[in-house]
Amino acid sequence: MKFNLLAAASFLLLLSTAAQAQTPAPAAKPAAPAVKMPPQPPEVAAQKFGPDGKVNPGFAASHERFVKIAQEGKAQLVFLGDSITAGWGSKKEIWDKAFGQYMPANFGIGGDRTQHVLWRITNGELDGIKPKAVVLMIGTNNSGQDPAEGIAKGVTAIVETIRAKQPQAKILLLAVFPRGEKASPNPGREKLKQVNAVIAKLDDGQNVHFLDIGEKFLQPDGTLTKEIMPDFLHLSAAGYQIWADAISPKLAELMK
């Protein structure tokens, strides 16, 4: 009797196992289709969105962190920009030596375009502080889709917003850095030269000071090297040292 019960139990277990093996796994959910976002004009403030149509979480987190830093009210020098500015975060020794005395804050976010910086500074990143100077370098991420005139309008809108929100702050407006290995043919670099020619006119000698340090990164023939820009866009430690050395005299003047 016991043998029959054990046999029956074993048989039922085998049937159950077989049924489970034959049950197909649930189908994977299809990836959400990319959401087509409307164009973002470079001179109109806008958040950064991902392919799902939602605000980029990294952008949102960095912005919230910068707002908190601003609310502390300690920063006397603010850097605004994209990943090239954000890169100062991994060059702490150079940063501290060049700018540490000014109680600096780095508000750079990778991938930012002019419209994103414009949105950030109209939504808290310049509230709660009274910096003596703001260093601005932005526009290279617009170069792939926006005309030079539009990029210049975006930079102009940022400068005007800084002036409105922080009238006491001197603005050190940097020309957009050169990009791409060769000097020619290099449509991207040519477009940025056009941008720089326009925004240079924002220099009023009092509140806005334009400075083009691009040539300091270049070889005599106009090429960029991997020693200065490993990917011909982002700076190495040597590149950041060039940047620090190039703006330090002017910055010392503006921070008085």
Instruction: Report the catalytic residues.
Output: 83, 231, 234
The continuous run of DSSP H or E covering 199 comes out as helix 187-199
Q: How far is CA 139 from CA 82, 113, 114, in A?
A: 8, 6, 6
Helices (H) and strands (E) in the chain, counts: 8, 5
How far apart CA 252 and CA 256 sit, in angstroms, is: 7
How far apart CA 35 and CA 49 sit, in angstroms, is: 10
How far apart CA 95 and CA 115 sit, in angstroms, is: 26
How far apart CA 218 and CA 220 sit, in angstroms, is: 7
Token couple for 102: 């000014």
Spell 68-86 as b/e; 16+ CB within 10 A means b: ebbeeeebbbbbbbbbbbb
Phi and psi of 235, rounded to 5°?
Answer: -85, 145
Tell me 89's DSSP state: G
